[in-house]
Amino acid sequence: MSRAVRTPGPGPWTRRAMQMLGVVALLALAATQAMAQRPNQRADSVPLRADYRNIDELLAKLPRVTAPAFAESDGLELGAIQLACLDRLQPLQPRRNQARAAAADSAASAADSSAASAADSSADSTRTRDASAERGENYFWVASYSLVARNNQTRAFWGCDDWHSAVSSTWATAFLLERFPNSALQELSREKLADHLGASNLAGELEFFQASAAAINPIPYSGQRGLFERPYGFAWLLKLYSALYTWPDSAARKWTSNAAPLANWMADSLGAYFAALPVAARDGDQSNTAFSLMLALDYAEVVGDLPLRRNVIATARRFYLTDKACKVEAEAAAGRASRGGGNGRPARADSAQRATRADTGYNDLSAPGAAPPPRRRRAGPGDVVSPCLTEAALMSRVLGRNDFANWLRHFLPPLESGRFSPLTEPAGGTEAVPASDSARLSGLSFQRAQAMERIAAALPSSDPWVNALHRISAIHGKRGFDLMRGDVSGISWLPAYALLYIEARKTP
Amino acid sequence: MKPTTTIALLITALCAALAPVAGAQAPSDSTRPKEKEFKDLASFYASLPNPAGAKLDGARALMLSALPLSCVDHPHPRPSTPPYLWEPTYTPVDSFETKRAFYGCYDWHSAVNSTWTLVKLLKLFPDLPTGPAIREQLDRHLGASNIVGEVEFFRSAGRFELPYGYGWLLRLQGELKSWDDPDAKRWATNLQPLATLLAGRMTTYLDTLQQPVRVGVHPNTAMAMDNALEYAADFDPELDSAIRRNATRMFARDINCNTAAEPGPSDFMSPCLYEAVIMGRLMERSTYLKWLDRFLPPIQSVAFRPLTKTMGLEYARSENASVSATSHLVGLSLVRAMLMAKLANLLPDDDPRVPVLRRLAVVQAAFGLPQIGAVGYDGTHYYATWVTFYLVEMPSTVGRNARAAR
């Protein structure tokens, strides 16, 4: 019957229409499937601004912001924040961010990381969660807690909300003291440093970490945590040690020798962790691998730890050398103030590259690179790191000047493009920033500014990006200080972020 | 279509970039003795050793039941993580004997699989001399109030034991519900609220899992599906369709399973074999046979060899493995034996691979079986489970006393 109705005219047209319909249907199907497989990703509702013609137009359009000065009075302000927290006991229940930083170490094995990603994606559906019950606490053994004996003599970093914040606060205190030796807080700062960096305190720390490492079951099991505070806190400890190491001061020399065994042990442990890490964590929080690699590299170069330096460089090249087209637009959400917390989407450095293998028909499990699934973390109010900029800042130290400039052009979109615009706008935008989110956005601003300064310092001075990066980093730096002054709580970690920026800003 | 091409290119580039790294991580091939090639399945079969196979008879069932009996009341070890600032003092939860069911055998999931082992053995051998002791233990652990306490705990326990322990709990409940025994009916009634809660969460878990977990330890997705499937197929249509839907989504397109990556340093199971087994249980047979040919290399090939090699204890020592890692090696051989036996059962009876897989299973088990008493409490919580699991999958290994296994 169908043969009988076929006429010369409409035949091919109908066929083409059918073909088109088929294609449309297939595309729709593919789209639905893709969406079904990534249930947590939503389309970004804020459109990017249009591209500018060139870098000159960008410079003309950027607001004129002078990089914030950093005078002794600013140092006093940051120093006071640190002094206020160094002796405040860390709470029994760690805050959310710390739990996450501690969990980051589980990335050390593919088994752990995929378990974490699997668990993460299911966790969104389980709203009522109790972190300790999740680890099986109170199933059989019920714990009651008391302060460890002589904590002020056998522990060094027991203040400031959590371990890594205590370390970074100690670093900030030392940094400020070296920078402003005649500060009004000088005596008080020295007293705190002496109290916390005594020989028995640091020996106790080393003992604790060695025991923690020994207690880890070599067999990964559900709920197993990695080594406490590795990599993020370890990287901060190395940063602190490098500051003490280079500080020409008699007390600092003593603290350096007290801290040396711990720093050596952590450098080795962190190096082993990097070497075994199958996949880089590319999230915008403390687990970000490039961030820890960068602080570790600072240490390795200052102290002359050649094995760690080789290890960091090899790890950075393994993860990042072939990266292209970083998804800066994915960082737009991190820069927005969250409403009620928890709805900012995670920024990822490499989402373009591992979009999906769904289109190839078969899923070849033997293909190189097929094995470890990407880690995925819950969207949350923990984003304080720019994945794209941090990776670039790290690579600026790994590659030679010209190689880096070349790599950077493939990695970041042109600064004048609309795609880069999320990193040119001050965090929090023009909306009022809720107090609960201003500390995070302040830290993120400092971190973006710091990374831009590091990148600019590594480019050839004739590169037109250098000037543009300084202009943009000034916007972020100023924003960081403005937002910091708008918050009153939970900012013990913030001065360290400000000072990493201040430190990066001094042109070599 | 452009984005597709771009993505494909990016993936190719990424793969090319990762290739040397992947190569560098694998132990260099030149240091290994060269694997023998076989021209066909028959010559490979002829080359295999032929150890005496174990039988699940009354004596063995008695011995196997003694292992879980020895651990169900031995509480989970006290946590021993060094404290940083706040030092915990641990006491057992109030009235654990009436508010908890699975507090023995090292950890929660091992307590569950040990309970399953007791149930399975008693079901197969109703006249087992340890039968009364088993019934007494099951009575004490699977009482109504114990399960009420379990449900209460799990309501706020988030991801605890998901998915591995969940899978075992559902296997246990499937076993109880299909057992024509008045005690079992009572235990199943008691356990049902927990099974319902966990089955519902397992459904959500599978539906929201972005990618399967392909590791050789607890979080493995195929293993969770396999453990839950009997209960789901018989008693929970929603979970059943979730398993089918998600296995299709995650596994149907898989080819060339990465046998070279097995076993990982502390693996106790084979991800490739588990996936092959779960798909065999879910797919229509002719489709499955085609899928399997693309998924696993031929059994006689060098590429299949990582799955058949027995890992001696010297392997564990060479890796500086702890006692528990050694116990995982014993576990690995027993789980592989069980999986090969299951795989053989999924193939047509006249398929030439069937006898080869069964022989490989016997060879694997022959390594693991003599070790099962050797590791003490580190092994009691799951050796008996895997041995039982393996033996019920082997044809004619169940002794005369046994009723039909399934």
Q: Is B97 on the interface with A (CB under 8 A)?
A: no
pLDDT at A43 (0 to 100): 41
Q: Is the pLDDT of residue A169 over 50?
A: yes
Question: Is residue A86 one of the residues assigned to a domain?
Answer: yes
Host domain of residue B253: 36-75+95-393
Q: Which of A391, A415, A407 is nearest to A459 (CA)?
A: A407
Burial (CB < 10 A; 0-12, 13-18, 19+), residue A230, is: buried
Residue of B nearest to A362 (CA): B253
Q: Is A31 on the interface with B (CB under 8 A)?
A: no
pLDDT at B188 (0 to 100): 98
- pLDDT confidence band for A434 (50 / 70 / 90): confident
The DSSP 8-state label assigned to residue A52 in this structure reads P
pLDDT at A382 (0 to 100): 73
d(CA B127, CA B170): 26
d(CA B67, CA B132): 15
Helices (H), A159-288: 163-179, 186-196, 199-214, 232-245, 250-276
Question: Is residue B12 one of the residues assigned to a domain?
Answer: no
Question: Is residue A114 one of the residues assigned to a domain?
Answer: yes
Question: Is residue A284 one of the residues assigned to a domain?
Answer: yes
Question: Is residue A292 one of the residues assigned to a domain?
Answer: yes
d(CA B198, CA B206): 12
What is the 3-state composition of chain A as percent helix, strand, coil, each rounded to the nearest 5? 60, 0, 40
A151: how many CB neighbours lie within 10 A of its CB?
Answer: 19
Cα B130-B134-B135 angle, rounded to 5 deg: 120
Give chain A's domain count: 1
Question: Is residue A172 one of the residues assigned to a domain?
Answer: yes
Q: Is the pLDDT of residue A359 over 70?
A: no
Are A140 and B100 in contact (CB < 8 Å)? yes
Q: Is the pLDDT of residue A332 over 60?
A: yes
Question: Is residue A362 one of the residues assigned to a domain?
Answer: no
* C-alpha A289 chain-centroid distance: 7
- Contact residues on chain B for A366, CB-CB shorter than 8 A: 256-258, 260
- Contact residues on chain B for A110, CB-CB shorter than 8 A: 215, 264
Are B201 and A126 in contact (CB < 8 Å)? yes
Q: Is B293 on the interface with A (CB under 8 A)?
A: no
Helices (H), B26-91: 41-47, 58-71
Give the rounded percent of residues in chain B with a pLDDT score beyond 90.
Answer: 70
Q: Which residue has the higher pLDDT, A326 or A28?
A: A326
Those residues with Cβ within 8 angstroms of residue A186's Cβ, 6 or more apart along the chain or in another chain: A177, A180
Residue of A nearest to B208 (CA): A122
Are A138 and B93 in contact (CB < 8 Å)? yes
d(CA B121, CA B62): 8
Question: Is residue B68 one of the residues assigned to a domain?
Answer: yes
Tens-place pLDDT, residues B347-356? 999 999 999 9
d(CA A228, CA A248): 32
Beta-strand pair B86-92/A141-147: antiparallel
- Give the pair of three-digit tokens for residue A159: 């203040």
- pLDDT confidence band for A462 (50 / 70 / 90): very high
- pLDDT confidence band for B369 (50 / 70 / 90): confident
In this prediction, residues A256-271 reach a mean pLDDT of: 98
Question: Is residue A247 one of the residues assigned to a domain?
Answer: yes
Q: Is B211 on the interface with A (CB under 8 A)?
A: yes
Q: In a 3-state reduction of DSSP, which class is residue A385?
A: coil
The DSSP-derived string for B78-100 is: PP-PPPSSEEEEEEEPTTHHHH-
pTM: 0.78
Are A373 and B211 in contact (CB < 8 Å)? yes
Nearest to B219 among A114, A137, A376 (CB): A114
- pLDDT confidence band for B325 (50 / 70 / 90): low
Q: Which of B167, B195, B168 is nearest to B114 (CA)?
A: B168
Tens-place pLDDT, residues B213-229? 998 888 999 999 999 99
Q: Is the pLDDT of residue A184 over 90?
A: yes
Give chain B's domain count: 1
Q: Is B266 on the interface with A (CB under 8 A)?
A: yes
Tens-place pLDDT, residues B72-120? 999 998 988 899 999 999 999 999 999 999 999 989 999 999 999 999 9
CATH number at residue B237: 1.50.10
Are A121 and B210 in contact (CB < 8 Å)? yes
Bridge partners of residue B87, in order along the sequence: A146
Host domain of residue A407: 55-119+148-350+373-505
Q: What is the ipTM of this complex?
A: 0.86
For residues A207-225, b (16+ Cβ closer than 10 Å) or e, as one string?
A: ebbeebeeebeebbbbbbb
d(CA A407, CA A321): 8
Question: Is residue B6 one of the residues assigned to a domain?
Answer: no
